[in-house]
Structure 1
């Protein structure tokens, strides 16, 4: 069966073409039915493909004369989008020349370009940024929103929960993911009015959907393994994500310092090396790379700018899975199932969407 092409912004990421092309080549070995559209400087892409004949045979190059820098504001990036590798990759999805786009470039610019080009799905007010985080359980946890929307009302949070559950069913193979709202406590009376309203709506909505709503969770429980989807506004979610990532780096650096502090420590490291290697692999962000903009009329995946080739390959793998499992159709189907439960109007945060896009 022929599957849609994946457009790769080959200029995105800290190391640019070499890592993006190598990552796509690694992913192609796992998803050999997919074709690729590599967008960026044609000469550089052709040179990188010389080392990857398998990917070269399955790829087309779309030359882009410009790139978007990591420091560029979203508003500036929007004005130059049609001539940049990022903008052209997303527009390939809009035009139907690709089924999805992957970029390791500027997150704010990618969100702004994607929102303008693809628009939100019917029934979704705002897209959300979702990512996988490691846990102590059998499956990773999906967390959203991670920064696309700094202010959200109850309606937005319910929509995020529905999209996150659909995503979770694809990447974790769970039939009914456990969904919780991020809060300052687990008691029903805790949190803002929007959080409490969202919880009440989700209790009703969950009855007709393939998800289990488990109330609230706190930030220290995100990676324990007892929740599959954590839902938050983008402001709180981004802070929680960076705290989790920072703690993981802290633990890694602390272990490194402890094992190199003395000769006895170095000997201890040799004995415990299998365990420390397992820990390092579990905490390595490259093994969980690939954040998704959920709620758009097309699939756009954000790779870490600092991702290795393996990290890029994981982002492409996520993209391929979402195409294979028809993510957008699943979300649309879940929205349709809401039926009489509906979604409350909430109190929309006026001007928040425009503010988010401009920052």
Structure 2
């Protein structure tokens, strides 16, 4: 099982990328890694070269570059070369913490989409924050791969999200919901009303209705689908609110004198658990579902722990043959459409 890694992508690359890869490598003896990047920067960081290979590249796609132009211009970049390795069958998956748009473009233009899927969806795994719930996380897509979507795209996202929840998260008969501006069936504009009816009528889905943005993290569904613009806006608002409250708590402790400091010290174990629950390092990266191979992107600010967890996530996807199952479903779906026509 070989993973092609963009060693140069991310705010702290290649240091944290190499460290995270080595941590994952030590956990799983079946994993091998090709690290694409500048050998002069990558080689000194490797503590143990077992099952690690450096593939030299001469270019880096920076965070601020226009994605498609960069993919076409920088053919010897670490992102392009790693994605090409997957396309040509020299690796089983592609991972990067670099330029999100460039990773999406490389996935779509180089790795390629599965036949029958119109638009791949960026899929995030988010925590459930409802106290007492047995559910710890849920699948959320499309979180930004497509600014505009058709109703059929959201149905496809729901099917792909269901496969991920069933096979990777091990959820039996996952509940699927639609992100909307109200929980009632008649809420939303004409687009969301049409999507709601389409999901409701699908015999392949356990559709439980609408979910409002304020209930996003409350465990009301195992898979929540939306168009990319709406889902991304809701996600960033949620992340921003969480960061704001953490900053307010820290500031309150600093300004509260010795009583506040003592209280913070007593609450430290609980606050640490909350931090770990909400941390992006815990759940891995965002998967571009709908492509011919796993393409996974993690935050540019990720540390070595987040890199390791993302690689664990990739291994789980390969172990359960998630891509093959998706291919089989949509191939059969196309056959059904031809018979119907």
**TM-score, normalised on structure 2?**
0.93
Measured after TM superposition, the shift of residue 237 of structure 1 is 0.8
Structure 1 residues 1-359: aligned runs within 5 Å: 3=1, 5-49=2-46, 51=47, 53=48, 56-136=49-129, 137=133, 138-205=135-202, 207=203, 209=204, 211-261=205-255, 262-336=257-331, 338=333
Find the residue that maps to 1:216 and give its secondary structure: strand
Residues 124-164 of structure 1, C-alpha deviations (whole Å, 9 max, x = no match)? 00011011111124231111111111111110110011111
- Measure, in 2, the Cα distance between the counterparts of 1:28 and 1:234: 33
1:248 shift after superposition: 1.5
Offset of residue 28 of structure 1: 1.6
> What SS is found at the alignment partner of 1:260?
helix
Alpha-carbon contact 1:147-1:238 (below 8 Å) kept? yes
Distance 1:81 1:97, change over 3 A: farther
Give 1:353's aligned residue.
Answer: none
List gaps (5 residues or longer) in structure 2.
Answer: none
Q: Aligned equivalents of 1:43 and 1:234: distance in 2? A: 39
CA distance in 1, matches of 2:174, 2:329: 13
Q: Aligned equivalents of 2:332 and 2:314: distance in 1?
A: 25
In structure 2, distance between residues paired with 1:62 and 1:327: 27
Number of paired residues? 333
Q: Does the 8 A contact of 1:165 with 1:229 survive in 2?
A: yes
* Residues 183-228 of structure 1: CA deviation (Å, up to 9, x unaligned): 11121211122222222222232x2x3x411111110111001211
Q: Give the root-mean-square deviation of aligned CA atoms.
A: 1.7
Q: Does the 8 A contact of 2:181 with 2:187 survive in 1?
A: yes
**TM-score of the superposition, structure 1-length normalised?**
0.89
Where structure 1 has 5 or more consecutive residues not aligned to the other structure, the ranges are: 344-359
Asked if the contact 1:139–1:228 (Cα under 8 Å) also holds between the matched residues in 2, the reply is no
